[in-house]
């Protein structure tokens, strides 16, 4: 049976294992109006990721994949950081959070003020040319639909997000593994922990003797490895955590 805890237990764990490394997923952005992927209202309930978010699909039908990402960009247009993003940025400023590793491509952690941020699945904010390396903003790319072509060499541009079948950006995943293996505590927020290699990062922390805490609506495969599991809103929980952890004194 899944044992659940309150914010006081999480605050105590962070306090005694500071600074912690935070790993976030789409569940930290749903309160900004951006749907996640695997919950009942998730994106993959409506779209097959292999048809719309794989590198093979992009190569075979770039217009179809760009149409999908155009819709996702439209859903991000009005999105603002929420209490969860802001709480993590504040906890970093106070010294309780060393870094945020995020699977999200929406850019909301950066806009909330997180500084030591590792975007392991890239960013939807830009698109690049695989041939000559030219990069444009997504707004510019949207103006070039159905298939944006590179302004320099004419090849098809691709959104700068990691698609299924692609390797993660080497520097980003290398940094994420290093942070995870050195963390005294990893706090996972809003992720189903179903997609590797990112889902393996908490295991790096545990293998090195670090502790794990999870804030997520719904179960994850690592709940029984966590010292603290909170099944509640990421925004409310992180805001309460920030209230419980004032300025950190070394
Ligand atoms: N508060 C807490 N948890 C939430 C909230 C919320 N407000 N909203 C959703 N969740 C939970 C969901 O119940 C779900 O368990 O967040 C989790 C999100 O899981 P996924 O939708 O699988 O998203 P994520 O883990 O980030 O997916 C990883 O898969 O498709 C790829 O590249 C995509 O980066 C993504 C990766």
- Residue 169: what pLDDT? 94
The pLDDT tens digits of the residues spanning 79-101 come to 999 999 999 999 999 999 999 99
CB of 217 closer than 6 angstroms to any ligand 1 atom: yes
Ligand 1: which residue has its CA nearest to atom 23? 26
- Note if the pTM is more than 0.95: yes
Residue intervals of the chain classified under CATH 3.30.1600.10 are: 40-78+124-161
Beta-sheet strand order (sheet of 135-137): 135-137, 122-129, 157-161
191 CA → ligand 1 middle, Å? 4
CA distances from 112 to 83, 107, 149, 178, 233 (A): 9, 9, 32, 24, 18
Of 2, 31, 36, 84, which is best to mutate to test ligand 1, by the most ligand atoms within 8 angstroms of its C-beta?
Answer: 36
Residue intervals of the chain classified under CATH 3.40.50.1220 are: 1-34+81-121+167-250
The pLDDT tens digits of the residues spanning 1-21 come to 677 889 999 999 999 999 999
Whether the predicted pLDDT of 37 surpasses 70: yes
Q: What is the DSSP letter of 155?
A: P
For residues 156-168, give the mean pLDDT: 96
Atom of ligand 1 nearest to the CA of 24: 26
- Residue 28: what pLDDT? 98
Looking at domain 1-34+81-121+167-250, which CATH architecture does it have?
Answer: 3-Layer(aba) Sandwich (3.40)
Q: How far apart are CA 185 and CA 42, in angstroms?
A: 29
Superfamily of domain 40-78+124-161 in CATH is: SIR2/SIRT2 'Small Domain' (3.30.1600.10)
Residues 236, 13 contacting (CB under 8 angstroms):
no
Residues 175, 119 contacting (CB under 8 angstroms):
no
Closest CA to 159 of 181, 182, 139: 139
Whether the predicted pLDDT of 161 surpasses 80: yes
The pLDDT tens digits of the residues spanning 98-123 come to 999 999 999 999 999 999 999 999 99
CB of 42 closer than 6 angstroms to any ligand 1 atom: yes
CB of 25 closer than 6 angstroms to any ligand 1 atom: yes
Q: How far apart are CA 108 and CA 25, in angstroms?
A: 12
User: Ramachandran region of residue 248, left (φ > 0), alpha (ψ -120 to 50) or beta?
Assistant: beta
Whether the predicted pLDDT of 127 surpasses 80: yes
- Residue 250: what pLDDT? 62
**Could you confirm whether 17 is annotated as catalytic?**
no
**Residue 68 CB: number of other CB atoms within 10 A?**
18
For residues 50-60, give the mean pLDDT: 97
Closest CA to 225 of 2, 38, 5, 28: 2
Mean pLDDT over all residues of the chain? 96
For residues 205-222, give the mean pLDDT: 98
Beta-sheet strand order (sheet of 211-215): 117-119, 97-102, 20-24, 185-189, 211-215, 228-230
Which residues have C-beta within 8 Å of that of residue 69, sequence separation ≥ 6? 124, 159, 161
- Residue 74: what pLDDT? 87
CB of 38 closer than 6 angstroms to any ligand 1 atom: yes
- The encoded tokens of residue 91 equal 């906890």
């Amino acid at each position: 049976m899944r044992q659940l805890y309150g914010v006081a237990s999480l605050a105590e764990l962070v306090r005694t294992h500071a600074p912690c490394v935070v790993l976030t997923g789409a569940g930290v952005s749903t309160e900004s109006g951006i749907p996640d992927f695997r919950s009942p209202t998730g994106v993959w309930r409506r779209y097959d990721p292999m048809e719309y978010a794989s590198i093979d699909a992009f190569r075979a039908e770039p217009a179809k994949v760009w149409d999908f990402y155009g819709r996702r960009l439209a859903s991000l247009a009005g999105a603002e950081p929420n209490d969860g993003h802001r709480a993590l940025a504040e906890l970093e400023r106070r010294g309780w959070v060393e870094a945020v590793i995020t699977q999200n491509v929406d850019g909301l952690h950066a806009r909330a003020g997180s500084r030591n941020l590792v975007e392991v699945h890239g960013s939807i904010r830009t698109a690049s040319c695989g041939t000559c390396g030219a990069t444009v903003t997504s707004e510019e790319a949207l103006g070039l639909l159905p298939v944006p072509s590179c302004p320099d060499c004419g090849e098809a541009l691709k959104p700068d997000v990691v698609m299924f079948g692609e390797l993660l950006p080497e520097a980003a995943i290398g940094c994420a593994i290093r942070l995870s293996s050195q963390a005294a505590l990893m706090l996972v927020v809003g992720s189903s922990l179903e997609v590797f290699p990112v889902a393996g990062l908490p295991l790096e922390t545990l293998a090195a003797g670090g502790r794990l805490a999870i804030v997520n609506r719904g179960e994850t495969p690592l709940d029984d490895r966590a010292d603290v599991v909170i099944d509640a809103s990421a925004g409310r929980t992180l805001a309460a955590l920030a209230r419980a952890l004032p300025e950190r004194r070394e």
